[in-house]
Structure 1
Amino acid sequence: MKPLRRQSLAKAIQLSLLISLPGLAAAQDAAPAAPAQSATTLDTVTVTGTRIKQTNAVTAQPVFVLDRAKLEKTGVQSVGEVLQQLTAGGKALNAKFNSSGNFGYPPDGGGIGAGSAQVDLRNLGSQRVLVLVDGIRWVNESSASGVSGSADVNTIPLAIVERIEVLEDGASAIYGSDAIAGVVNIITRKKFDGAEIHGYFGQWDRGGDTTEASLTLGGSGERWSAVFSASYFEQKEISSGKWKQSSEPVPGAGLAAGSSGVPQGRFTFCDPSRPVTGVGGCDAAGDNWYDITLNNGTTVPVFDPNNPNGGTYHGFSGADRFNFAPFNLLLTPSKRKALFTSINYDLTENTRLHVKALYNNRTSTNQAAPEPIFVGPFAGTGGIADTVIVHANNPYNPFGITLDPATNFGWITKRPIEVGPRIFHQDVDTTYFNIGLDGVFDIGERGFGWDANYVHSENKAEQTFLNGYNVAKIKLALGDPTVCAAVPGCVPLDLFGGQGRPMTQAMIDWIRTRQIDSSKQVLDLFSANITGDLFDIGDRAAGFAAGVEHRRYRGEFNPDPLRQSGESQDSFAAPVSASYDVSEVYTEFNFPVLSTLDLTAAIRYSDYSTFGGATTGKAGFRWQPIEDLVFRGTYSQGFRAPNLGELYGLTQFGASLVDPCGPTGGGGPAPQYVAGCNAQGVPPGFEQANTQITTFTGGNPNLEPEESDSYTFGVVYSPGWAEDLSWSSKLDFELNYYHHEIEGAIQARDLQALLNACLAGGGTNPAVCSPFSRAASGNLNPPNNFLSNLGSVETDGVDIKVNWASPDWSWGRLTANLQSTFVNDYKAVDIDGNVSQRKVGVEVSDSAIPEWQTNLQLGWTKGDLDLSWNVRYISAVEEDCGNSVFAGPKPGCLNPQNVNTLGSVTYHDVQFGWKNALTVDGLKLSVGANNIFGKEPPVCVTCSLNGYDAGTYDLPGSFWYVSADYRF
């Protein structure tokens, strides 16, 4: 393809980006490298967001590039951690989420994703971000708990990454489904001569050692090039018990509420033989029922039916709740081993064969407090546990009566810490194979580039769950002892002795079980693309790209048989085995209608086997009125096809619901809920038994795709007056406005908002109250909450970027790069008209949308020495203290607004590097620290695990590291 003349602004901007973002000028190029040209020409390249090769460094769509040098200066060793520091990012799963065993399965059918790392853009969710590797889709993760619609970006080792391009715009017309919020394109190393050994060690203040090592080999000849990489990554755990916020019941944190599943046991029942007016009588309202727990230090329980606080028992209160956090993890352990190879071979002068292959294995672990046993109808599982009868003849039953759910039994909760914590081990294999051809050809004077690819990729996972229980065996062991005795291995179960009389090994062996879940996702992809020049408009050529793609998705989820039968104490889950196909065709155009104005357009048609066809379009412009200034804008139609988990999954989710009719800890309903609570028959003085309400969730095969409209408008200014001055060699400004609107968003209802609306509206309106019913005690029964095209989401904001570099002064060269994102608005509304509590500046559901996020990189370079100082800023957010399950006084909440302010946070990261260190050519040594001042995350009173938002903030404390790279 003939080289095009370089424009003045393109040259200025490109030089700017070569300093601040060196990878941009080397963006992926499907064609073989052309011979070196004169200084006045520039070869065409492909930049993420368009498949048309071009010379403009500033395209119509905003693209942020992190080259390898920038990646190294972050001080982290995983793709996930890098991407989650983007100012345009939102909450996404990472190693700080110790998710297994605490939440159950989320409603989207994607599973828990334990051990994976995902990327979110614009706070629209990781399922609305398309992850590419070298411009081709990456397989979604499975993690043995579902069929997810999100990719695990840590399946791509950092050692093979040349750079990461982030398209901050919708791009369904270019790439198809999922590219609503943006696209992350990870470009791998394709040409490398020599060998490179890399070693890294880092540690948090509280432990959590991180070790990484890699070996990269490469070579090239006249017609070939090859790269091979082997890498190893290990991150050790940090126990929640090592942080005071988690290890102690800190007032004000959500953890202070603890759990009603306590080691001493909680017993809620009545005695039908006693008068209704007396304590323990079975009145319909449940006012006289016992709600008691065993005194600490008790070895032989003694029950006094005339006095709940007599004998060895006392009335259960919030002070008795169990602080589960010390058993959890602040940082989950993970090991990753990867092999990668990339081979390119010129078959002819104009045709090249390319082959890429990757194998990545990840083993990771989640840990949770010993599994509590909940039996009786108040457990609200909707399964076997609700039907358990505790027989009067059970030799350990101190109450002398049979506890029957039909008449006098609320529940027994018991957390047998003698069994040990719940352990979830994940073993995940990711394989990727790509083979294809690419090349160039000419028709007349016009040049064209083409490529064709076949990709097979697979993510296969197995999770082993230890120290869980078989609830069917629990039921048998608590029932009639004669029936138990007739079953081999069955022994009567003691839930009544507390810590003073722990369960025997025989009891544990009878009810304890190992559970194994597995899942797999497979993506097979065929694609072919062509790009080139159509005709000339004036002295410039109109460019085009076109292509076809066929994809086949297959997903499987095989939960342990105990989960499928409902016998698992942990969570119910149904198997999934499904597939679908999609065939697509697209075309894209770039028309230079004026010497200063380019117009772009794209259209894509997709045909899905699940729902039919969808057409999306995109249009944009790039206007350069003067050499130093570019205006640009895009309008994009987008869609996201429902994934396999959303279509077919069926699971349980432990939703945290604060019942306005009787919050945990007492206090009674607020005035606006009184009438609704009365209409639902909630007894006076009712107190919610448990805030974690089992919810049946799952997919819907009738789902339609989400549809979106997105537009951006931006300006890039690279003033010529700031070049080659005594204080500046270059200066760039970039300002971009974005707006996304999604209709038919696939989601389950916001149960908390729906429950609040139901009760505030009188408690009987079927439009908002249909998911809710109550037991005679007043406790909520498990609601159903299946997916549908329920919602609309709208968000907009502004990105600001500034890049500056000094001239080469005698004492060194300075650089400064700023990225800042301002979120103007975020609003989600469901089909019932309920507005989500998730808004700008609000912390809710373990996530926040800060109004401002800013990253600033300052650098100094002198010869072989360099020093960087990175500053990361997150603005303050507020949370509604009414969403906290803790009913007592909460510091920070004692104000008329009943809100807690999570103050702004600034992290400081520093790194010192030395090239050719110790007079050894090719050796680079680096030492650094992230969060060098040890800033701790703000206390969150509504967050569910460690009392802070792990999706928004860093781990507490500093992280220091050293690394060495030797290239030869």
Structure 2
Amino acid sequence: MRWHNSCAAFVLASALAAPAFAQTAEPGSSAVPEAAAPGEEIVVTGSRIRRDPLAQEAPVVVLDQDSLAKTGLAAVADVLQRLPSASGGLNTKVNASGNLGNPPDGGGVGAGSATIDLRYLGANRTLVLVDGLRFVNGTSASGIPGSVDLNSIPTNMIERIEVLQAGASPLYGSDAIAGVVNVITVQRQKGLRASAQYGEYRQGDGETQDYQASYGFQFPATSIVVGGFYSKQKPVFSRDRDISQFPNPGQTTCAIPGSGCSSAAVNGRFLTFNGSQTISNPPDSTPTLGELRAFTNADRFNFAQYQYILTPNERYGGWFSTKTELNDTINLRLRGSYNRRNSNNRAAFEPLFIGPDAGNGAGSLFDTLSIDVTNPFNPFGVTLQSGLNPDGTSNGLTPNYSFVARRLVEAGQRDFTQKVNTYSGAATLDGKFNVGGHDWYWDVNALFGINEANQRFTGNVRADRVAVALGPVAACNATPGCVPLNLFGGAGSITPAMLDYIAFTEHDSSNQKLWDYTANLSGDITDLPAGPLAFAVGVEHRYQSARFTPDPIVSAGLGADIPAQPAAGKYNVDEIYGEVRVPILKEQPMAYSLEANAAIRHSNYSTSGSKTTYTVSGLYKPVHDILIRGAYSTGFRAPTLGELYGGRSRYDLPVADPCSNQTGNPWQTSPTAQANCIADGVPADGSYAEDPGQLPVITQGNRNLKPETSKSINLGAVYAHRFGGHSISIEGDWHDIKVKNAIAALDPSLTLNNCALSAVNCDLVVRTANGFVNEIDGTLQNLASIKTRSFDLTASYRSPESGWGRIGLTSNASWLLKYKVTQNNGSLGNLTINRRGTERGSPDQAYPKFKWNGTADWSLGGLGASVTGRYIHSVVESSLTPLFNTTATSNKLGSRFYVDAQVNWTPPIMDKRLMLTVGGNNLTDKDPPACFTCSINNYDPTTYDVPGQFFYGRIAYKW
């Protein structure tokens, strides 16, 4: 390991402090919005009615600009994903492009984007708002995601982030089943704010640069704020971390059974009538049968060293915000932003599989190709016959080979480059008027959002030209540009002329558009003995559209990489909501305050029909310092455009086939499984004996999907007290959520298991004549229910100023008490999977029973320091249970405790407008726990840090 001098000169051995995640607040704490004076009523996420933010009826975490800056992280999503109630989500540690294909959720891989997932319910069940309004969903030219890309929101445009950790469909509509993230933007600023930050890992990689500047102008009736930013993150390569250098943790060679290394070797693997072979002395421009030798595990290709463990990401753009007081009671607000993201994902050289057992699926032409006897590089002396026509039907000839696999090292690594532009604008007219001595507030809003993505992919080849180059040499010679292709001569035998004919640069594109119009009215109706009877009502009309357009060569089924079909769709929705707050008691013995609240929303989707949701809640304060609250809510989530209209694509699931004749598989241990596998098309002689690897799952949307529905119960208690300049608060919240008709694909492992052990779901598995899996149907369905229960506990303490300075302590913990997924298993009934305390593996997600963040900070004069601990409890990954529950083994992913710290100094110069900061993350250099079933890089990037210590320094200026 080495230390970069450029960083060593700038960074001290200190570390990151996570934000103080205050959920309840006293005046001056981070949970009170800056715009609120003590006792002032404002709109806080979780209610449409103006109220004192200290009497919040729902658990809300607030992160302000200072809290975000304390993390040393350049991406907002990385900060949010550290919340104990968050369960990760997509981020720049995920390098899925080209490795796994498009996941079964219909949203594509989302390369380079970042999302937030609350309560382990998925990012598409967490609603992201900006200033209480919708924001356009992200896209990365690989599908149609159903969630907002947080990387598309300019960081220095954010004043604070309010995270409502409870379902709120009646207040905000679809997608708010797990909670709401409301990004509040800067609306007023005086003068300049600027900062520059640089950081990198101790190994000298993963360098990040982050530059931000904004300026606020104040006029008598108008305020204007403009800003710009630039952020760049460089990669960390998998080969530069011990955990990710081979397909499995702790592995040091491919020359062992079950290594996970690829049979698409650099010198090729030829599974023919002559056995499993490769070339002896590559490169060979004249391969002959006598030069072939037996293929061994040592010939397999270690693809793991050619991936990213942290993907490069560059973002820049600008924004503005204005507020004009048109008169004493009416304001006009305008907000606009532009965000550009340049990102990159990388995979190993293209693994070209050709032949009837190639397993490309989705009707790929590569699965039908024959290699003609006249091809000058065919060493077998006969045509390698697939027995198939181009459309996959039998051609009446006997197949004499299974597949030819060759790693196309000559074409370079697969490189996916995304360029994503996000445009957003909003206009708000708001004001107030008096009715019967009460102020009523109104606002009307119009907004638009456009997200446009283009992806360029190099390293792919096209099937139609490969077919000509491997076919009769006379036909190739008669085709302009065609050069016969040498697949049998090993690495270096494919010449530039051969590549020029078969290779192509893939161009994919996608976009999402949002138009939204809302109107709201709130105020007090009348005064009751315990306070005003308050209400809020509103209407919303929203239009969303999206499309995904893969390269024409890919959509024609002619690409060697992940197949994809075009997808497009749109919908509009009309909604109306109402909310009421009824005060019941005030300042009575053992009833300092008591109130009841209710909200209802009716939504009418052009695609999914109508749905009404409601919530009822109550707040009770027996004394001033204690608050007890509870709520019961119903919710729903309309299917996203990707879930409805997503085209056919492929997801390569790392899984073992129970019908493969391998040690420990049901084929060898269960006569019933063997009989069922034979009935499904597996050869009875046991010749199908492939090591575990990636099997093709064909994913696609479903226009017949119904909305998901949910029921949730939230109970909480808060103690907050101030004494002699000290402040202390303790909050506990219990959450219970049940989701019905959950949209998902039947677990492909379950599909294979059902067919092998029970002869059920075999129609979802397509096998070749030699038993290889060609397709597993992964069409989305309303087939699951989810039951989750959790408890959050937050405590904070703040001391008064003294000669020793001022200290603050915060502790934020979340216990996952229950997480069960029940899938409809057809004629076998329902199958319930207990996720609590487990690692799911691909797609990666850990479900730890306990997570905790704690921060201690100190300040004195111009000095400040903080230390943060982050704890993630251990989880267990099971070896594909419930697949092979008779031979299942478990791997424990041990607990992790990260230590971060930060020091800042405001020197007594320049009117103390300058602040210098140094810090570091993961000071104890904890590696993530090793994971065998995780997608790539042998750890779960949604839960754990990139291996290594990260140090950074920042200079900030306010004027």
CA–CA distance in structure 1, aligned partners of residues 190 and 471 of structure 2: 72
Structure 2 counterpart of 1:285: none
1:645-656 correspondence to structure 2 within 5 Å: 645-656=642-653
Q: Is 1:557–2:548 an aligned residue pair? A: yes
- Aligned mate of 2:318, from 339, 350, 353: 339
CA–CA distance in structure 2, aligned partners of residues 609 and 343 of structure 1: 35
Greater mean deviation of Cα atoms: 833-842 or 70-79: 833-842
Instruction: Note if contact 1:660-1:670 (Cα within 8 Å) is conserved in structure 2.
Output: no
CA–CA distance in structure 2, aligned partners of residues 751 and 85 of structure 1: 30
Instruction: Note if contact 1:356-1:433 (Cα within 8 Å) is conserved in structure 2.
Output: yes
CA–CA distance in structure 1, aligned partners of residues 656 and 888 of structure 2: 18
Instruction: Note if contact 2:243-2:249 (Cα within 8 Å) is conserved in structure 1.
Output: no
CA–CA distance in structure 1, aligned partners of residues 656 and 614 of structure 2: 44
CA–CA distance in structure 1, aligned partners of residues 126 and 327 of structure 2: 37
Instruction: Note if contact 1:689-1:779 (Cα within 8 Å) is conserved in structure 2.
Output: no
Alpha carbons of 1:19 and 1:260: their partners in 2 closer, same or farther (altered >3 Å)? farther
- C-alpha displacement at 1:897, in angstroms? 6.1
1:85-104 correspondence to structure 2 within 5 Å: 85-104=82-101
Structure 1 counterpart of 2:775, one-letter code? P
CA–CA distance in structure 1, aligned partners of residues 887 and 814 of structure 2: 31
Alpha carbons of 1:589 and 1:629: their partners in 2 closer, same or farther (altered >3 Å)? same
Tell me, what secondary structure is at the counterpart of 2:613?
strand
Count residues with an aligned counterpart.
Answer: 903
- C-alpha displacement at 1:785, in angstroms? 2.0
Q: C-alpha offsets along residues 759-809 of structure 1, whole Å, 9 cap, x if unaligned?
A: 122xx33xx222013222111221222111111111111001000122323
Q: Is 1:583–2:581 an aligned residue pair? A: no
Greater mean deviation of Cα atoms: 504-513 or 934-943: 934-943
- C-alpha displacement at 1:263, in angstroms? 0.4
Instruction: Note if contact 1:20-1:803 (Cα within 8 Å) is conserved in structure 2.
Output: no
Structure 1 counterpart of 2:854: 856
Q: C-alpha offsets along residues 465-514 of structure 1, whole Å, 9 cap, x if unaligned?
A: 11111111111111111111111001110010112x42100011111101
- C-alpha displacement at 1:837, in angstroms? 6.6
What root-mean-square deviation, in Å, do the aligned CA atoms of Structure 1 and Structure 2 show? 2.3
Structure 1 counterpart of 2:161: 164
Tell me, what secondary structure is at the counterpart of 2:420?
strand
- Aligned mate of 1:452, from 427, 435, 444: 444
Q: C-alpha offsets along residues 620-668 of structure 1, whole Å, 9 cap, x if unaligned?
A: 1111011121110111111111111111111222332310122778867
Instruction: Note if contact 1:132-1:185 (Cα within 8 Å) is conserved in structure 2.
Output: yes
Tell me, what secondary structure is at the counterpart of 2:88?
coil
1:638-677 correspondence to structure 2 within 5 Å: 638-656=635-653, 657-662=655-660, 669=667, 671-672=669-670, 673-677=673-677
- Aligned mate of 2:30, from 21, 32, 46: 21
Structure 2 counterpart of 1:890: none
Q: Is 1:828–2:828 an aligned residue pair? A: no
Structure 1 counterpart of 2:263: 260
- C-alpha displacement at 1:691, in angstroms? 2.6
1:282-301 correspondence to structure 2 within 5 Å: 290-295=275-280, 299=284
- C-alpha displacement at 1:696, in angstroms? 2.1
- C-alpha displacement at 1:14, in angstroms? 10
Instruction: Note if contact 2:279-2:490 (Cα within 8 Å) is conserved in structure 1.
Output: yes
Alpha carbons of 1:394 and 1:664: their partners in 2 closer, same or farther (altered >3 Å)? farther
Q: Which runs of 5+ in 2 are unaligned?
A: 1-21, 388-398, 587-592
1:370-385 correspondence to structure 2 within 5 Å: 370-382=349-361, 383-385=364-366
Structure 2 counterpart of 1:386: 367
Structure 2 counterpart of 1:9: none
Q: C-alpha offsets along residues 493-543 of structure 1, whole Å, 9 cap, x if unaligned?
A: 0010112x4210001111110111111100001001011001122041011
CA–CA distance in structure 2, aligned partners of residues 294 and 252 of structure 1: 29
1:398-409 correspondence to structure 2 within 5 Å: 398-406=379-387, 407-409=399-401
Instruction: Note if contact 2:732-2:794 (Cα within 8 Å) is conserved in structure 1.
Output: yes
Structure 2 counterpart of 1:812: 805
- Aligned mate of 1:788, from 781, 793, 797: 781
- C-alpha displacement at 1:758, in angstroms? 2.3
Structure 1 counterpart of 2:223: 225
- C-alpha displacement at 1:166, in angstroms? 0.3
Structure 1 counterpart of 2:260, one-letter code? A
Structure 1 counterpart of 2:245: 247
Q: C-alpha offsets along residues 392-429 of structure 1, whole Å, 9 cap, x if unaligned?
A: 11111111111111221200000021211011110000
Instruction: Note if contact 1:318-1:665 (Cα within 8 Å) is conserved in structure 2.
Output: no
Greater mean deviation of Cα atoms: 202-211 or 521-530: 202-211
Tell me, what secondary structure is at the counterpart of 1:227?
strand
CA–CA distance in structure 2, aligned partners of residues 420 and 630 of structure 1: 62
Alpha carbons of 1:399 and 1:550: their partners in 2 closer, same or farther (altered >3 Å)? same
Greater mean deviation of Cα atoms: 571-580 or 903-912: 571-580
Tell me, what secondary structure is at the counterpart of 2:642?
helix
Greater mean deviation of Cα atoms: 99-108 or 159-168: 99-108
Tell me, what secondary structure is at the counterpart of 2:156?
helix
Structure 2 counterpart of 1:140: 137
- Aligned mate of 2:481, from 489, 493, 502: 489
Structure 1 counterpart of 2:333, one-letter code? H
Instruction: Note if contact 1:666-1:687 (Cα within 8 Å) is conserved in structure 2.
Output: no
1:121-136 correspondence to structure 2 within 5 Å: 121-136=118-133
CA–CA distance in structure 2, aligned partners of residues 909 and 350 of structure 1: 47
Alpha carbons of 1:167 and 1:592: their partners in 2 closer, same or farther (altered >3 Å)? same
Structure 2 counterpart of 1:275: none
Alpha carbons of 1:249 and 1:583: their partners in 2 closer, same or farther (altered >3 Å)? closer
Identity, in percent, stands at 39
Tell me, what secondary structure is at the counterpart of 2:837?
coil
- Aligned mate of 2:458, from 466, 469, 476: 466
Structure 2 counterpart of 1:230, one-letter code? G
CA–CA distance in structure 1, aligned partners of residues 25 and 435 of structure 2: 35
- Aligned mate of 1:909, from 878, 882, 900: 900
Instruction: Note if contact 1:378-1:689 (Cα within 8 Å) is conserved in structure 2.
Output: no
CA–CA distance in structure 1, aligned partners of residues 529 and 279 of structure 2: 89
Tell me, what secondary structure is at the counterpart of 1:523?
strand
Instruction: Note if contact 2:460-2:561 (Cα within 8 Å) is conserved in structure 1.
Output: yes
- C-alpha displacement at 1:252, in angstroms? 4.6
Structure 2 counterpart of 1:592: 583
Structure 2 counterpart of 1:714: 716
Structure 2 counterpart of 1:817, one-letter code? T
CA–CA distance in structure 1, aligned partners of residues 170 and 23 of structure 2: 27
CA–CA distance in structure 1, aligned partners of residues 29 and 411 of structure 2: 55
- Aligned mate of 1:691, from 693, 698, 722: 693
Greater mean deviation of Cα atoms: 216-225 or 245-254: 245-254
Q: Which runs of 5+ in 1 are unaligned?
A: 1-12, 28-35, 271-279, 281-289, 305-310, 888-892
Tell me, what secondary structure is at the counterpart of 1:544?
strand
CA–CA distance in structure 2, aligned partners of residues 369 and 17 of structure 1: 53
CA–CA distance in structure 1, aligned partners of residues 908 and 341 of structure 2: 33
Give the TM-score normalised by structure 2. Answer: 0.91
1:202-213 correspondence to structure 2 within 5 Å: 202-206=199-203, 207-213=205-211
CA–CA distance in structure 2, aligned partners of residues 884 and 581 of structure 1: 41
Q: C-alpha offsets along residues 353-410 of structure 1, whole Å, 9 cap, x if unaligned?
A: 1000000011111111111111001112231011100011111111111111122120
- C-alpha displacement at 1:883, in angstroms? 7.4
Structure 1 counterpart of 2:105: 108
Alpha carbons of 1:757 and 1:160: their partners in 2 closer, same or farther (altered >3 Å)? same
Q: C-alpha offsets along residues 870-919 of structure 1, whole Å, 9 cap, x if unaligned?
A: 1111000111235799x9xxxxx9x9962111100011110001124656
Structure 1 counterpart of 2:383, one-letter code? T
Structure 1 counterpart of 2:763: 770
CA–CA distance in structure 2, aligned partners of residues 511 and 786 of structure 1: 32
- C-alpha displacement at 1:291, in angstroms? 1.4
CA–CA distance in structure 1, aligned partners of residues 247 and 438 of structure 2: 72
Instruction: Note if contact 1:711-1:738 (Cα within 8 Å) is conserved in structure 2.
Output: yes
Structure 1 counterpart of 2:333: 354
Tell me, what secondary structure is at the counterpart of 2:74?
coil
Alpha carbons of 1:190 and 1:644: their partners in 2 closer, same or farther (altered >3 Å)? same
Structure 1 counterpart of 2:386, one-letter code? P
Structure 1 counterpart of 2:350, one-letter code? E
CA–CA distance in structure 1, aligned partners of residues 957 and 637 of structure 2: 44
Alpha carbons of 1:14 and 1:442: their partners in 2 closer, same or farther (altered >3 Å)? farther
